[in-house]
Amino acid sequence: MKAGRSAGFTLVEMVLSLAILAVAIPVLASLFAGGLRQPQWAREQTRALFLAQGLMEEIVTHKWDEAATPPGHTNVPSAIGLDAGEAAGDRSTWDDIDDYDGLTDNPMHDAVGTTLTGFAGFWSQTRVDYVASDQAAPDFETALGKGAGTDFKLINVTVNWPDGNVSLTAVRGNF
């Protein structure tokens, strides 16, 4: 009787299989780890967008400028920034959108000054500038500066976190 070949792997087949796995497992693990990091970044971006939208809504609910009356007329170009009687550390005293120019909020606070919990590592920067109001060719992207009084103001809110930032921009007209 002839002895049949027994089922199984040879030593060469085992060594070759282990070599392939030794190369493939680290590559697959790094791809998987990258996939785990991406949702964390997306979550942080969503939180930053939430904060930026909240701050932008707070800003645009204020008057265009306390010195502009009647609506649609720019009196004397008002300097952008805080006016007399408005405290830099107390947003509850701010009454128009340009009061927010230069606001750096770290840690983030709400409109009445309460620190927003659960948002450690996030901070915001706000900029307000006049923009061109030529009705024939409006340019709402090029800032004209702080004292160039037009009927349009560009508001830029940026919320930062250690891995990135989110910026929102709005144009507010004197209407």
Q: Rounded to a whole number, what is the largest CA-CA distance in the chain?
A: 113
User: pLDDT by residue (tens digit) across 12-25?
Assistant: 888 888 999 898 88
Instruction: Report the alpha-carbon distance of residue 149 to residue 8 in Å, rounded.
Output: 86
Predicted confidence (pLDDT) at residue 2 exceeds the cutoff of 70: no
What pLDDT, on a 0 to 100 scale, did the predictor assign at position 103?
A: 96
Tokens for 65, please give them: 């400028």
What values do phi and psi take at 132, rounded to 5? -60, 140
Give the pLDDT band of residue 31 (cuts 50, 70, 90). Answer: confident
Tokens for 69, please give them: 């009356």
The total of other beta-carbon atoms located within 10 Å of residue 171's CB is 13
What pLDDT, on a 0 to 100 scale, did the predictor assign at position 167?
A: 97
The total of other beta-carbon atoms located within 10 Å of residue 48's CB is 25
Higher pLDDT, 75 or 80: 80
Buried (b) or exposed (e) across 131-149, using 16+ Cβ within 10 A? bbbeeeeeeeeebbebeeb
Give the pLDDT band of residue 51 (cuts 50, 70, 90). Answer: very high
Task: Show Cβ contacts of residue 112 under 8 Å, excluding neighbours closer than 6 positions.
Answer: 91, 92
User: pLDDT by residue (tens digit) across 115-166?
Assistant: 999 999 999 999 999 887 666 556 666 677 666 677 788 999 999 999 999 9
